[in-house]
Structure 1
Amino acid sequence: MASADDLLPLAAGTDARRVGSRFMRPVEALAAVLLVVVVGLLLAGALSRYLLALPIIWGDEVASICFIWLAMLGSVIAIDRNEHLRLTLFLGLLPRDARRFVDTLALLLVAALLLALAYPAYDYASEESFITLPALGIPGSVRAAALPVGICAMAALAVASAVRRSTVRDLAVALGVIALVVAALWIASPALMKAGNAAIVICLVGFVVVALAAGVPIAFCFGIGTASYLAFATRVPLIVMIGRMDEGMSSLILLSVPVFVLLGCILDHTGMGKAIVDFLASLLGHVKAGMSYVLLGSLFVVSGISGSKVSDMATVAPALFPEMKRRGHKPREMIALLATGAAMADTVPPSIVLIVLGSVAGVSIAALFTSGFVVAMVLLAVLAALARLKARDEDMTGVTRPTAGVIWRTLLVAAPALVLPFLIRSAVSGGVATATEVSTIAVVYALFVGMVLYGGISARTFYRMLVETAALTGAILVILACAVAMAWAITQAGIANELASLMAALPGGWIGFMAVSIVVFLVLGCILEGLPAIVLMAPLMYPIARKLGINDVHYSMVIVTAMNIGLMTPPIGIGFFLACKIGNVSPDEAIGAIWPYLVALFAGLVLVAAVPWISIGML
């Protein structure tokens, strides 16, 4: 099995792996400035509206312009840092020379896609010049120009990376393979236009699967499938795909994504998360299975601040693993609990997955946040029960109950941090503010508290946080853009109607449909990770669920939970390898220990699916 390093683009790539580092500094600086402007505009708009009853008319338009530029520049930074999410499990099974060639082929496939989209993106931006933004009075091309600029910059970096890492022979053969495939598609184009579903299988399934196995980043796998289908199996121009991509990145709800990502960075760097962990340890650490309870509880609480699984695990594991090892916990058991605990906590607001799902499926984010909290409590109880069962032989030698004074002191230190998750949940769930508004207030609060009470953040560290946030935001939003375009192509091909008829004919009514949905999202969670799976399938599945009388929020909780279980399921689930990397444990060692925890989570999922009240009873 490949190592976690081979499988996952974790933190920023080293300079040795980056190809445009010297030229990226202005791009990184501009992206950091745009992120600060977005946060400032959102905060100013919220304060002006609530305190002065005076909305900033032009605020949304300026924020929208900055946001799409931030997304595209962030995606360029992610290309430079090799941070676009991709699956390299199959690459790790190849010999070194074959792996190098396939890696070259993947980079050139990305470049080919981007170059194919470059002129349609320019054409789209030119068409937008005829639209005038009502509040600012400027052409829409000011905003849309981000698309061709970002696409061309990513293409240049992909080509530069392929040239730098590859041999001349690998480059020549890879280019020849791409040219042959394109020529074959061009020759077969008249037949593909008449092939109906066969063309869909070839382009929107076959090409995507092959590209995914070759290590092409997930976003560009979707792009390759969609572009090839539109270009060779239909008469739809690629400018339509650019329009769908723009639509996928343009929802104002998505403005909260970079802000919550930034909030997670602040949590990591200020020690606010560690303060919460220390407080929970003082309360529960002295009982049998106490450190397991603390780990699960910390993931639950910390998730309510950062909204990111990676941030959650990176905050909790270093603080708890040493003491858990001392008490006799095996590293593989700790990784299993960490991974499944992170999956449990992904429905805890402010979950980025729930925010994106609400945007794509048109479901109330406030309702999703309320329901997600309850569902996570159910899953937490299931995992805690299993942890207690496994802790019957735990070594409690030397463990003493902390005094009330110790508990009080840790509470005082953690209190400012503990306020934050409850602030976020209550404000959004109570309808006091939108997720976007709450995210900006939370960032300002966390910055103030972190700088005054938790040691502060240096200017250099804060700048790095801004750049990291921009890169992750770009990677997320490009996935959304390409997934929305692919979902549109699938819908236009008539698959949605056929799928609806097939699903409606399933035995068992809504129960049968729910069972099939669980299987689908378990598999997609293993392969695609959460966001692309949600964005790709939501437009297809939600209309069917509604026809069968399934509540949108109930269905959302089921598919998100199923997807998270898939994400942590080896040997493909990306989240499992992330947990192994953060906990510094070999995947080979941890893979056998995680199955009981996954079974427990699945039992919780079945309970959530079978009892709608768990999801909607508190709404």
Structure 2
Amino acid sequence: MAVAPAAVPLAHGLDLAERWLRHLIEVPAALLVVAEVAILFVGIVARTFHAPIIWSDELAAILFLWLAILGSVVAVQRGEHMRLTFVVGTLSPRAQAFFETLAVGAVAVFLALLLHPAVEYLDDQSFVETPALGWSGMVRAAAMPFGCAVAVLSCLVRLARHAPRDVASVAVLLGGLAGLLHLGAPWLAGIGNGALVIFFVGLLGAGVIAGVPIAFSFGLATAAYLLATTSTPLTIVVGRMDEGMSGLILLAVPLFVLLGQLVEATGMARAMVAFLAALLGHVKAGMSYVLLGAMLLVSGISGSKTADMAAVAPVLFPEMRRRGMREGELLSLLAASGAMSETIPPSIVLIAIASVTGVSIAALFTAGILPALVLALVLALVARYRAGTEEDAAPVARAPASVVGRTLVVAVPALLLPFIIRTAVVEGVATATEVSTIGIVYALVLGLLVYRGGLSWRATRPMLVKTASLSGAILFIVGAASAMAWALTQSGFSHDLAALMARVPGGATGFLLVSVVAFIVLGSLLEGIPAIVLFGPLLFPIAKQFGIHEVHYSMVVILAMGLGLFAPPFGLCYYAACIIGQVPPEAGMRRIWIYLGWLLVGLLAITFIPWISLGFL
């Protein structure tokens, strides 16, 4: 089919605009990742020599908001914000194209709505001065309007590539919805908390199902609710997003994401897996044990489920296939192991829950290990049983002692990394935010001097940009969920929820059971961090009223959320496991339930035996 002559310069112009917009954001975003690592590591060294740098944390906090905003813009440009595509994926190609346009258009609308309030918020910050550096608050707050403006331009460029009829249809749909809400504003304001159902169930649910990125579905529902039912200015949304996504403890998110990529790029993950395979590969279900052990080890390094699976599955799956394991079994075990290891420190979810609830991060890091080990034991028993059903499983000879010893020697430096990270936090050498920089420096030294496994200058920029993009997507969800949680609190919803949950039959037992069910559902529908950020501040005070220890409750809700996150058909991480393992989703739809069912049994044991969570505190 011939291309229209007029389309050629248009396509060229769009390519050029997209390239420059990406360059404008990706380069400073990558540099900000490097700057944060350097600032925090220098701060640790200076404190070690009793010469603390008083402005280092302040500078890190200022740059962190810029990193979060620019990272979220990179995610917009690359289409990497978290979204639910299961429903849209079942539609015809024509319908999918429309919903893809709708997703981009909805993002553009929300960012355009925030642009003027972000400028007003910038002006408000002119009266603020940082205590150590003496800089105007505008230096930090300028990230918000700048990021919104560039992201809107990026969305417009992306929309120009979509079919004009789809763009027009989306414009009519969104414009009609805005007009309908405007005309119905008096009625919506008059029905009180009934409006919450319309905005935070109907509108939010429709956006998520339609494939609009989760963070922007949160943001649109919140902005629409405030505009239609209150006189609250949207500068409040900007301020709450700023507050939610710039807590210094969340700085650990991009740093641990970077650490996870370094572990994979340097070959450290391969060294750990090779040792476990040599040690256990010959026993019945041995490679399943290796996968579980590798997920426990790597989860303690990267803090990201996707990064964990990406580090382990490509190394193990070829050998597991060669030994006769079926595709569905591989996928089911990988997904279940991801849910199992949610509480292994330094899990990003642990960091998020500490940020929004005030629970001690050191206590969470200490408490998270034993629950994961209990679930690993449960999965190991299931894997042992399932290995007996694999009729075509091939016997494997025991690796010679020399091979085990050699792989151990190679793996020891990598195996030390999780223990270095945890010890540094528990012993007070570094905070949960700073300790990731120790891991990064350690991984760089090992990668350059010991493993030399693919770490190169050419790979550095893509790694840094990927870190910024993934971190920006995560932090933007935290910010949008924080604004939504504020709106729900102001509406009186939190008070009503507390009163309702306080009347749950069965007291603390009933509350724990309801929480397990609720977070399994929320983890499946909303992804882990939004569920934690949105409902953690509402439910933790209620748990305290029932006498439930906050650390124990944290373990319960995180593991319940993880169970939902990996449960088909809606769990986002189930599909991430499919992509990483290169296994079609339908292959695991039937087999995964035995693993998830026994994980639920293990979760109930953790729920009603608090010592598993609190025994080492």
Give yes or no for TM over 0.5: yes
- Tell me the residue number matched to 1:222: 218
How many Å separate the matches in 2 of 1:609 and 1:19? Answer: 53
CA offset digits 1:44-74 (Å, max 9, x no partner): 1111112x21221111121111111111111
User: Out of 134, 148, 151, which is 1:151 matched to?
Assistant: 148
How many Å separate the matches in 2 of 1:54 and 1:575? Answer: 44
- Tell me the residue number matched to 1:257: 253
TM-score when normalising by structure 2: 0.95
Shift of 1:580: 1.1
Shift of 1:86: 0.5
Identity %: 52
Contact 2:84/2:209, CA 8 A, preserved across alignment: yes
- Tell me the residue number matched to 1:310: 306
User: Out of 229, 236, 242, which is 2:232 matched to?
Assistant: 236
Superposition pairs of residues 230-309 of structure 1, within 5 angstroms: 230-309=226-305
User: Out of 91, 106, 125, which is 1:94 matched to?
Assistant: 91
Superposition pairs of residues 64-463 of structure 1, within 5 angstroms: 64-165=61-162, 167-393=163-389, 397=394, 399-455=396-452, 457-463=455-461
How many Å separate the matches in 2 of 1:318 and 1:120? Answer: 46
In structure 2, list runs of 5 or more residues that go unmatched: 1-13
Contact 2:324/2:394, CA 8 A, preserved across alignment: no
Contact 2:257/2:467, CA 8 A, preserved across alignment: yes
> Matched residue pairs, number?
602
Name whichever of 310-319 and 368-377 sits farther off.
310-319
Superposition pairs of residues 530-609 of structure 1, within 5 angstroms: 530-609=528-607
- Tell me the residue number matched to 2:57: 60
The runs of at least 4 aligned residues of structure 1 exceeding 4 Å deviation read 16-19, 393-398
Distance 1:276 1:148, change over 3 A: same
Distance 1:228 1:492, change over 3 A: same
How many Å separate the matches in 2 of 1:308 and 1:214? Answer: 26
Shift of 1:110: 1.4
Shift of 1:116: 0.9
Shift of 1:19: 7.5
Letter in 2 for 1:489: A
Shift of 1:424: 1.0
Shift of 1:313: 1.0
How many Å separate the matches in 1 of 2:16 and 2:318? Answer: 34
SS class of match (1:235): coil
Shift of 1:174: 1.4
Letter in 2 for 1:504: A
Shift of 1:152: 1.5
Contact 2:421/2:438, CA 8 A, preserved across alignment: no
Contact 1:72/1:150, CA 8 A, preserved across alignment: yes
Contact 1:288/1:396, CA 8 A, preserved across alignment: no
Distance 1:54 1:271, change over 3 A: same
In structure 1, list runs of 5 or more residues that go unmatched: 1-15
Contact 1:88/1:215, CA 8 A, preserved across alignment: yes
How many Å separate the matches in 2 of 1:540 and 1:82? Answer: 31
SS class of match (1:20): helix
CA offset digits 1:443-495 (Å, max 9, x no partner): 00001101111115111101111110011111111000000000111011111
- Tell me the residue number matched to 2:38: 40
Contact 1:307/1:351, CA 8 A, preserved across alignment: yes
Shift of 1:22: 3.8
CA offset digits 1:507-530 (Å, max 9, x no partner): 100111111111111011111111
Distance 1:593 1:442, change over 3 A: same
SS class of match (1:84): coil
Distance 1:17 1:591, change over 3 A: farther
CA offset digits 1:552-588 (Å, max 9, x no partner): 1100000100011101111111111111111111111
CA offset digits 1:569-613 (Å, max 9, x no partner): 111111111111111111111111100000011011000001111
- Tell me the residue number matched to 1:3: none
Shift of 1:397: 5.0
Distance 1:501 1:277, change over 3 A: same
- Tell me the residue number matched to 1:8: none
Name whichever of 421-430 and 561-570 sits farther off.
421-430
How many Å separate the matches in 2 of 1:536 and 1:129? Answer: 30
CA offset digits 1:173-222 (Å, max 9, x no partner): 21112111111211221222221111111112211101111111000000
Name whichever of 151-160 and 437-446 sits farther off.
151-160
How many Å separate the matches in 1 of 2:584 and 2:496? Answer: 44
- Tell me the residue number matched to 1:12: none
Contact 1:358/1:364, CA 8 A, preserved across alignment: yes
Letter in 1 for 2:398: R
1:31 aligns with 2:29: yes
Superposition pairs of residues 487-498 of structure 1, within 5 angstroms: 487-498=485-496
Aligned CA-pair RMSD? 1.5
Letter in 1 for 2:273: V
